[in-house]
Amino acid sequence: MSGNGPGSSMSGRRVGVYEIVSEIGRGGMGAVYLARRHDDFEKRVAIKLVRTGLADPEALSRFLSERRIAARLEHPNIARLLDGGATPDGEPYFVMEYVEGEPLLDYCQRRAATLDDRLSIFEQVCGAVAFAHRNLVVHRDIKPANILVTPEGCPKLLDFGIARLLDAEGRSTGGTETLHPVMTPDYASPEQVRGAPITTATDVYSLGIVLYELLTGRRPYRLVTGRTDELIRVVCSTEPVRPSTAVRRERAPGEDDDDAGSPPGGETGESLARKLRGDLDAITGKAMRKEPERRYASVDQLAGDLDRYRRRQPVMARRGTVGYRAGKFARRHRIGLAAAAVVLLALGVAAGATLQEARRARIAEARARRRFDDVRRIANSLLFEFDDAIRDLPGSTPARGMLVDHALRYLDGLSRESSEDRGLRRELADAYQKVGDVQGNPFHANLGDMKGALASYGKAIGLLEPAVAAAGATAEDKASLATAYLGRGGIEVATGAAPKAVADSRKGLALRQELALGAPGDARRQMDLAQAWQFLAFHLQAAGSIAEAERALERQSSILVEREKAEPGSPTVRRAIEQNRYVAGTLLESLGRQEEALATLRQAAALAEALHREDPASTVYLRDVGYAYMEIGVVQTALGDPGSALAAHRQSGDAFGELAAADRRSVDGRLGVAISHHNVAETLFNLGRRSDSLAEYRLARPGYESIVAAAPDNLWVTSMLAKLYSDLASFEPEGSPSGCSLDRRSIELFGKVGGAGDSPQHRAALETSRRRFAACAGAARS
């Protein structure tokens, strides 16, 4: 093939099992061709072929290095290596996934992509670069032309032709560059220009330039001559103007010809500048610092700051004043601006006493506005920043309860202002959900008040449903409503309303599916969707729809497999997998597939224990350990292995005991301890150790009773207490006053619970108590 010319002359030639269709790109050392397998005309690929007769040894080395590097990178946002080899003439080649897409800036311009659209795509690109860094690969040539976006909005990072492998310290193994390093000048970092050692900070810098272009539609620097001295002066010494300033400036002559980009959504001038000013200016500036050590320490940190910006949280790039951190939760437009404008107009036309009166009114309005914003900022700061900081800490439940109660009083006072302020309505809804979690969400450290929790979630949903139904509903509105539906479903299951929980979880799932479809590849949206499938599975199981619950878990699992590939080692992804294994284990248990259930639950326990070892201060992971071993003990009992079951239940009790000791006000820990005592008691009874069994039953009683006394509507715990009374009655002589009293209370509680306590064990306990109590009644008559 070495004697062939470029372009169409290669059409129809064979490279391995592939047949070349046409040329799609050319460089100094070879070309890229569109090809297809000659035995499968539906599969299209891209073949990169180097011309050994034309390429110099350094170019050939780069080509082979690119092939080796591509082979180690398997990520949904990186074009995949499919094959490789050499032609009979000794020309090396490799075969890549063919990406049907267009360059990043072209895609955004043609679709008039909004600011949020661009940030979503950019975060996915960051995920790809971070993955490469975790595999000790630095790209060194990140630019919009090397990022293709598919019609579905999924970006693919291409061309690792000048990438370098890193050593364990994160530095390039290639050593110091020459004075004429291989690079793209417009996207090169100061260290590349100077020929200094390359690290992952080099890619952070190039990503900063790409972000700058996405935000402004232009590049931060303009190179005129392209000479080395100009390149060093501009890149190493010239500070670019802030994005918010750049979008207000007129383009220089000829600039439109060079820069194919356009600003977000076609916006220009002050409107766009207001959106970029502050956080996005700071994020872009930090990524593009001249000194590598002053940039973001990793691409994950850059992506994290953009995610915080999109969620209206404080960003790392602007850490500093308390006012900034609290103010992030205030809306950027102020209620009452219209009224202030009327007052200002009156000032312009009034005279004398009217002028003085208007001035006083304006001062009063401004004072009231400041007070309103102060209350709003403080309440939001308490509810979101401070509560998030202490939520998983041992012993924090009382402080969280007091915190949200006081903050909510302020926010309730603002609810009258929320009808015209979409942002305030969402803030109130998010606040009500946090209160509901602390009050009685069984999947969080809580105070056991499920009735109050349902009321708080109902308020949140009442605020959000009209906003989502109205025109112009935002992704944030839909995301908050989805979370509210799913959270309320979890509480409904615990109160015996499984059908309502299924209905709510279906609504939440539908919203999260819509959001994920609108942002393909967005990691946060994918994880939210995976969680929604898990909630639906759990609620379907509670409602008895086991087959459908299995299908929902499979949908969650398919998402988590992809997320684990993209984010290996992520605690968030690993915990989601642990929860998936836990629910899957309980499903298998209910189907009687006990051996499979045991293996699956052991996977969940191992994941939970590993996460707890890594973060021993987290109560969430400790809780997961407790519940995993609890279910393992139940399955081992069903398998006829009471000795192993006893050990598992005691492990569960140890975890919940630690949780209860760390946070005595949390129902979560106390309930786990009570259930563990109850399970140990039943296991000892089956082993014939009646006296030890009775002692454990008695230890379980105060935990159940205290929870039911504080929250009589908690039917889940009420059903456990009903069974406990029946179990305790079996130790009393039949017909004795104490035994009859326990059976009567068991029957009463089972009657209150109804279908919520309808399990084989509970039905058997109820029938036993009824039989014994009938004998009690007969003895009383005689």
3-state SS, 676-703, equals HHHHHHHHHHHCCCHHHHHHHHHHHHHH
Token reading at 445:
């450290």
Q: Which residue has the tokens 């790109």?
A: 25
Per-run averaged pLDDT (10 residues), the chain, 782 residues: 45 84 75 81 80 57 69 81 79 85 91 90 92 84 92 86 52 42 82 87 95 92 80 87 85 50 71 88 94 90 89 76 43 38 38 44 50 48 46 52 60 57 76 79 71 88 90 88 93 86 95 90 90 94 91 94 88 93 94 95 96 86 94 96 96 92 77 95 94 95 89 84 94 90 93 71 89 77 50
CB atoms within 10 A of CB 691: 8
Token reading at 689:
């150790």
Q: For residue 187, give Cα distances in angstroms to 149, 235, 255, 366.
A: 19, 9, 16, 47
Q: Which residue has the tokens 């560059």?
A: 177
Q: Which helix (H) or strand (E) holds 756?
A: none
Three-state DSSP state, 45: strand
Q: Which residue has the tokens 């973060």?
A: 615
| Nearest to 505, CA basis, from 521, 487, 519, 486 | 486
Three-state DSSP state, 36: strand
* Sequence-distant (≥ 6) Cβ neighbours of residue 655 within 8 angstroms: 622, 623, 625, 626, 629, 672
Token reading at 642:
């009471």
CA distance 764 to 762: 5
CA distance 491 to 501: 8
pTM of the model: 0.54
Token reading at 520:
């393909």
DSSP for 392-432, please give it.
TSTT-HHHHHHHHHHHHHHHHHHGGGGGG-HHHHHHHHHHH
| Amino acid 757: pLDDT | 57
Q: Which helix (H) or strand (E) holds 317?
A: none
| Amino acid 158: pLDDT | 85
Token reading at 763:
């039905």
CA distance 707 to 494: 13
* Sequence-distant (≥ 6) Cβ neighbours of residue 316 within 8 angstroms: 286, 296, 301, 304, 305, 308
E-strand spans in 55-212? 81-86, 92-97, 102-103, 137-138, 147-149, 155-157, 164-165
CA distance 780 to 774: 10
- CA angle, 339 as apex, 337 and 344 as ends, to 5°? 90
Q: Which residue has the tokens 């619950």?
A: 549
Q: For residue 684, give Cα distances in angstroms to 635, 719, 766.
A: 16, 21, 21
CA distance 182 to 161: 10
E-strand spans in 414-465? none
* Sequence-distant (≥ 6) Cβ neighbours of residue 607 within 8 angstroms: 574, 575, 577, 578, 581
Q: What is the 3-state secondary structure (H, E, C) of 208-275?
A: HHHHHHHHHCCCCCCCCCCCHHHHHHHHHHCCCCCHHHHCCCCCCCCHHHHCCCCCHHHCCHHHHHHH
Q: Across the chain, how many H-helices and E-strands are there?
A: 31, 11
| pLDDT tens digit sequence for 564-619 | 988 888 888 999 999 999 999 999 999 999 999 999 999 999 999 999 998 887 88
| Amino acid 122: pLDDT | 95
Q: Any alpha helices (H) in 135-227, and if so which ranges?
A: 190-194, 200-216
| pLDDT tens digit sequence for 479-524 | 999 999 999 998 898 887 889 999 999 999 999 999 998 888 788 8
Sign of CA dihedral 736, 737, 742, 744: positive
Q: Which residue has the tokens 């308020």?
A: 459
| Nearest to 224, CA basis, from 252, 188, 199 | 252
Sign of CA dihedral 527, 533, 537, 540: positive
| Amino acid 399: pLDDT | 57
CA distance 611 to 394: 16
Token reading at 361:
């009114």
Q: Any alpha helices (H) in 111-199, and if so which ranges?
A: 115-134, 190-194
Sheet holding 81-86, edge to edge: 14-15, 18-27, 30-37, 40-50, 92-97, 81-86
CA distance 685 to 691: 8
| Amino acid 66: pLDDT | 67
How many CA atoms are closer than 13 Å to the CA of 587, on its beta-carbon side?
Answer: 26
